[in-house]
Structure 1
């Protein structure tokens, strides 16, 4: 099905509101790209400009092309730029053969009519964890194969908690976490840092608390959503969290934690390497739900997708490339490099065997949800932006949590 101009324009607007959530984004084009052509050259786009051709990732891409009997020409883009270029390429009829995209963008590209179903290509996704592939599933059909997932948890500084008389095992719900923050502040240290910036990163970090209260993204102004926003506001008002959470990205929030002055940091799998370099002992616990248990957390990570091509004869080779990139043998080193949790139980087990510190992240990913899951699809950006705007309004004091979320719900319904 050829994408219509109207669908592409709407999709471009949606992609424009989604930004990179992990350390994987950033940078500029690594090379110019052209459409796949006959003569043994296939094209591949990814959001990893930080990895050049000599990196483990770059070498894997090249080898998967070689194993498929073709030259695989790779171009790396910033995450958001990649989504926009994909839509424009589809409009011009020169989309790449294979494309690795951020998971919230999948539904936008599907709506624009430019991605193939995995089932139509004969790609096997049975071993993929259901909640991970769910982020790329629309109307019960998957449109890509996840290369891995990352998500959020709470890092903690062991020395600070010990000095404040807090046992991290006691943090089981919101009340016990807030009580721990109070003890830390009383001991002269800082409580918790997170990102509440007015971008998708702010929504990404707010979702565990929103979902942990039982919130529903189609009802932002429910009592459950208000409870989550009120929790964050209390922490800022009482000095348990810094006021600069309003400007914090996930990177700057991590930098605050890395000073050694904060007890907790809400951050992601991708900070594990930095945690090892921080110079103090740390631990990781799942983000607690309001009344106990682990809160659902949003999945980050990318999907290997196959754009629609005029020459359908190319798909046989494309399938070989995708299968190579997502095989268990290649997922293990790839997800280790990207600091992702693998999308299959078999590879997860190998990851934990190699690095036991990944164990809490595996359980966090098991409790994770796709932001576009549950039928939201391309509606998600029209909900996320009002939500992060509400967080900003409440934490800055310009509106109460209820008023901020009332406004957000009204805006989301118009969207």
Structure 2
């Protein structure tokens, strides 16, 4: 999933791929572009950017927006029908699924240069050593904190360096009459997405869900819920409703993403951001969110030259700075990240978080990831609700994942 999906609006448009775009000529004509941003209309900064990149390539770019899940399904269907769009922006975990289906071109075959992109970011769209798209940006998770709540509880946010110090801070906050931490543990990909920093921060391995390290992470969350440091409604919280809880001003910490920065500025209380700590210190690896600009396979291969120009335009350093500012993304290259932080110092901890991030499908998982993620979020639900112990819940998850 793209972590920004929590803010997406319902589906607002639909359309066909290149086969119904009105022109099959590689010179001029109409090219089709799909993205997962229905919240941005044609008059938005993003909408104008897409139109401008079509014009720069000498074509009219017909843009169609779907929500993230629908986009992946529509892409598979369109490819089967020989009607795939010319260029498509897809959530990074979807890339491996589309590659397995034979839908996407390798960036190397298209002559697209990805050498300046951070390896951990492009890794989310790399299968068997080959990249199949260019990331437009990345977002990820960190801990927002309420300065007033921590100050009243006598907690210095700089003291939060590992799980023990974070738990000690939550204990002080509760004793001071405030609420501790809110996050999303819902039984969807959002729940897995939010659990992964703690799982990876303990040294967990997604191919061994029931290892002692994985059990330690789930036990931490259960400890917080049982002690009242986290609310029981984390079981139903999406990332949006979790943010709404934090925005009440009652919570010390809220696990959430880059995309909430605009809302944080409107929250009405002073806040800060710290990286999610690893069990024994340091920044925990966090999952990368964000999308890749891809070029689907076409019967008319002469179209690729223009498609390459469109991708190059959307991901150029100049456009990335403006685009990633609009989308609240961290740029995928160090050079543009430096510009972003210079323009907005609030992004500094997010750049650090992205540097420590990893793709959910990386490490050779690819299309195996969904068969692991669903048992994982089910285990989280089972343990936090008291249905099973963390050990038993993760043992059941591992068994299910192996069958998948």
Tell whether the structures are fold-level matches, with TM greater than 0.5.
Answer: yes
Is structure 2 residue 330 aligned with structure 1 residue 368? no
Q: Which of these residues, 217, 224, 227, is aligned with residue 213 of structure 2?
A: 224
8 Å contact kept, 1:22–1:270: no
Aligned partner of 2:385 among 377, 390, 396: 396
CA distance in 2, matches of 1:145, 1:187: 48
1:285 pairs with 250, 274, 278, which one? 274
Counterpart of 1:10?
none
> Where do residues 226-305 of structure 1 align in structure 2 (5 Å cutoff)?
226-305=215-294
- Measure, in 2, the Cα distance between the counterparts of 1:103 and 1:260: 33
Q: How many residues align?
A: 398
Residue among 108, 128, 138 paired with 2:117: 128
Which of 25, 28, 40 is residue 11 of structure 2 equivalent to? 28
Contact 2:2 2:291 in 1 (8 A): no
**For 2:79, which of 68, 90, 95 is the aligned residue?**
90
1:6-405 alignment runs, 5 A limit: 22-23=5-6, 25-35=8-18, 36=21, 37-39=23-25, 40-405=29-394
| Aligned counterpart, 1:413 | 402
Once residues 355 and 177 of structure 2 are traced to their aligned partners in structure 1, the CA distance between those partners, rounded to angstroms, is 36
Partner Cα distance (1:24, 1:335) in 2:
16
CA distance in 1 between counterparts of 2:300 and 2:264 reads 47
Deviation at 1:187, TM superposition (A): 0.3
Name the TM-score, length of structure 2 as normaliser. 0.97
Tell me by how many angstroms 1:24 deviates. 5.2
> Is the CA contact (8 Å cut-off) linking 1:46 and 1:77 kept in structure 2?
yes
- In the TM superposition, structure 1's runs of 4+ consecutive aligned residues that sit over 3 Å from their partners are 18-26
1:180 Cα offset (Å) = 0.2
How large is the Cα RMSD of the aligned pairs? 1.0
Distance apart, 1:30 and its partner CA? 1.9
Pick which of 100-109 and 38-47 moved more.
Answer: 38-47
Per-residue deviation, 1:27: 1.7
The CA deviation string for residues 104-132 of structure 1, in whole angstroms up to 9 with x for no partner, is: 00000000000000000000101101100
Q: TM-score, normalised by structure 1?
A: 0.95
Unaligned runs of 5+ residues in structure 2 are none
